């Protein structure tokens, strides 16, 4: 039904209201949310007009109040399904003004608050539904929501997430329920560029830094070159539409998006308070500056992330899909080629954990692109992101780039020289140049594929094995320098399979796995994830 289409005139207002009410309820049942909102709006207007006319008849007024209350609750439910959270919340408030313990209105308000990640407010709301007589017939539903709220409130307060059962079931069933969480971090000016996220406490490898849900996400399957380019364009357009819709529907989203960098004068941007991004944030007074389309496009260019990037991990159903999304707080994390954090995607959530131990005051960084590649390749990739990488590793490798031998090794690898030979030459040169500690790890990470090929090949190991360092030595130094990575884990696990796994090796893999997958899985699930990596 079109918005301007009116219900045919009826003999009395009561008949007209009856017709509108039945029609709206039918549309609600059929899950035609938009249409249902329109008809409920007509009903509510008519009902309010009638109330003025019959204000001296208390029985009639009370009857109309009841209908009005139900209509507000039902319109709220439809608006909730359309993700018009603010309007849905207003409808609930209107209903609750008429009847303070109205079951449907409270239940719907609880669901909206849950969608807005305000877990404790949602919990209070679901508890209040128990005061209404209708609760007894809906106890299972209410208890389900109460349990969910308690779990999410706990997760969001403590950061104690456990995905073990889901991982061990082979990612079967629905995604695990997850809350948003902000760990021991704050936003500050960064030496890398603009603003960044910084640790406010020492953070162990594997500890969560933040968990946040995408504002919008678009996924598709990419196949054949031509169609994948077209698919990506269509996906990008759909993604933009979703973001525009979210900003128009929610003042908070609009405001938070406007705090993100659009790539210009980053060092002059204001530093927002992290509390704005906390799930239970009670801020409601948003002075929304206008976000024109150009600004939105620039913000998305600078801040959107691809789920299936080499530097990220996707768990569960969305594996195999190409996904692009915007995660607000994660957008303050700068890139580094020797990062100390990793991102893992679970459904629409991104979970970011420390991939190495992080000291208080240190900036949290993750890799936007493949850190196991040469300086030249990384320069190309950072250019496509529109910046020149200022990280410590790039600065060190830039200093080394005058070494002719390095250029020869890289050129040799491009021309297909023996990977073992390249590894041997780099190791020998590093001895000559007296390269130590993390810097050794940086250089090894730059030609990681040659190390992986050598350690993975019986033939190459026969030839070079005794002249190059043992697998564990190289793996440890690379992880120490640039953090854990699945490809490094693969080499480690394959090596252990060949040589056998004692207690010390088990400990090493667990520590390594924590950096890779975080503490959100227990030991057994962690091992299962590590084993999946070698398949």
Ligand X SMILES: C[S@@+](CC[C@H](N)C(=O)[O-])C[C@H]1O[C@@H](n2cnc3c(N)ncnc32)[C@H](O)[C@@H]1O
Residues that bind ligand X (CB under 6 A): 190, 192-196, 260-261, 263, 266, 269, 302-303, 331-332, 334-336, 385-387, 389-391
Which residue's Cβ lies closest to ligand X? 194
Give the residue with the Cβ less far from ligand X, 305 or 413: 305
> Minimum distance between the CB of residue 325 and ligand X, rounded to whole angstroms?
13
Give the residue with the Cβ less far from ligand X, 263 or 465: 263
Task: Report the sign of the C-alpha dihedral through residues 192, 180, 481, 380, in that order.
Answer: negative
Give the residue with the Cβ less far from ligand X, 36 or 303: 303
| 3-class SS string, 390-429 | CCHHHHHHHHHCCCHHHHHHHHHHHCCCCHHHHHHHHHHH
> Minimum distance between the CB of residue 294 and ligand X, rounded to whole angstroms?
16
What is the rounded distance in angstroms from the CA atom of residue 528 to the CA atom of residue 513? 10
> Minimum distance between the CB of residue 192 and ligand X, rounded to whole angstroms?
5
Report how far apart, in Å, the C-alpha atoms of 188 and of each of 85, 90, 260, 338 are: 31, 36, 13, 20
Give the residue with the Cβ less far from ligand X, 192 or 430: 192
Give the residue with the Cβ less far from ligand X, 268 or 285: 268
Residue with the two structure tokens 């350690």: 455
CB 218 within 8 A of CB 325: yes
Give the residue with the Cβ less far from ligand X, 163 or 375: 375
> Minimum distance between the CB of residue 371 and ligand X, rounded to whole angstroms?
11
> Minimum distance between the CB of residue 260 and ligand X, rounded to whole angstroms?
6
Query: Residue 119 is inside which H or E element, if any?
Result: helix 119-129
What is the rounded distance in angstroms from the CA atom of residue 315 to the CA atom of residue 177? 14
Query: Residue 315 is inside which H or E element, if any?
Result: strand 312-315
> Minimum distance between the CB of residue 303 and ligand X, rounded to whole angstroms?
5
Retrieve residue 116's tokens: 């807005």
Give the residue with the Cβ less far from ligand X, 69 or 324: 324
> Minimum distance between the CB of residue 488 and ligand X, rounded to whole angstroms?
21
CB 448 within 8 A of CB 409: no
Give the residue with the Cβ less far from ligand X, 303 or 311: 303
What is the rounded distance in angstroms from the CA atom of residue 444 to the CA atom of residue 426? 8
Q: Which residues contact 451 (CB under 8 A, 6 or more apart)?
A: 419, 423, 444, 474, 478, 491
> Minimum distance between the CB of residue 313 and ligand X, rounded to whole angstroms?
19
In this structure, the dihedral spanned by the alpha carbons of residues 44, 34, 218 and 112, taken in order and rounded to 10 degrees, is 30
């Amino acid at each position: 039904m079109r918005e301007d289409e009116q219900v045919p005139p009826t003999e009395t207002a009561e008949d007209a209201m009856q017709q509108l009410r039945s029609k709206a309820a039918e549309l609600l049942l059929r899950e035609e949310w938009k249409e249902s909102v329109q008809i409920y709006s007509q009903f509510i207007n008519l009902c309010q007009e009638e109330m003025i006319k019959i204000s001296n008849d208390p029985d009639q007024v009370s009857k109309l109040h009841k209908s009005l209350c139900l209509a507000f609750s039902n319109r709220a439910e439809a608006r909730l399904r359309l993700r018009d959270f603010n309007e849905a919340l207003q409808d609930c408030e209107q209903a609750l003004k008429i009847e303070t313990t109205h079951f449907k209105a409270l239940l719907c308000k609880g669901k909206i608050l849950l969608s807005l990640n305000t877990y404790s407010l949602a919990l209070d709301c679901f508890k209040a539904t128990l005061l209404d007589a209708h609760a007894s017939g809906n106890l299972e539903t209410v208890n389900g929501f109460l349990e969910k709220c308690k779990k999410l409130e706990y997760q969001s307060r403590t950061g104690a997430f456990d995905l073990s059962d889901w991982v061990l079931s082979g990612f079967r069933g629905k995604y695990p329920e997850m809350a948003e969480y902000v760990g021991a971090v704050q936003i500050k000016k960064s030496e890398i560029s603009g603003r960044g996220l910084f640790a406010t406490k020492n953070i162990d490898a594997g500890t969560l830094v933040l968990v946040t849900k995408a504002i919008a996400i678009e996924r598709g399957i990419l196949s054949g070159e031509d169609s994948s380019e077209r698919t990506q364009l269509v996906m990008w357009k759909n993604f933009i539409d979703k973001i525009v819709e979210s900003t128009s529907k929610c003042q908070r989203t609009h405001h938070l998006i406007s705090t993100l960098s659009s790539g210009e004068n980053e060092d002059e941007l204001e530093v927002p308070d992290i509390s704005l991004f906390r799930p239970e944030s009670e801020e409601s007074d948003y002075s929304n500056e206008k976000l024109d389309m150009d600004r939105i496009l620039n913000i998305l260019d600078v801040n959107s992330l691809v789920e299936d990037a080499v530097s990220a991990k996707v768990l569960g159903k969305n594996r195999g899909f190409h996904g692009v999304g915007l995660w607000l707080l994660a957008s303050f994390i700068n890139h580094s080629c020797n990062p100390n954090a990793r991102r893992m995607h679970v459904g629409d959530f991104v979970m970011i954990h420390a991939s190495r131990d992080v000291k208080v005051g240190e900036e949290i960084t993750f890799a936007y692109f493949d850190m196991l590649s040469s300086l030249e390749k990384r320069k190309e990739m950072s250019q496509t992101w529109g910046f020149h990488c200022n990280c410590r590793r790039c600065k060190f490798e830039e200093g080394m780039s005058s070494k002719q031998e390095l250029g020869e090794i890289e050129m040799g690898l491009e021309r297909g020289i023996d990977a073992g030979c390249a590894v041997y030459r780099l190791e020998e040169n590093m001895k000559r140049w007296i390269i130590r500690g993390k810097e050794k790890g940086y250089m090894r990470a730059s030609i990681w594929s040659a190390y992986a090929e050598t350690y993975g090949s019986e033939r190459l190991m026969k030839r070079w094995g005794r002249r190059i360092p043992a697998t564990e030595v190289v793996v440890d130094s690379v992880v120490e320098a640039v953090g854990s990575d699945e490809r490094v884990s693969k080499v480690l696990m394959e090596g252990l399979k060949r040589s056998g796994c004692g207690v010390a090796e088990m400990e090493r893999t667990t520590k390594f796995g924590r950096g890779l997958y975080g503490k959100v899985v227990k030991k057994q699930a962690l091992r299962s994830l590590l084993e999946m990596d070698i398949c």
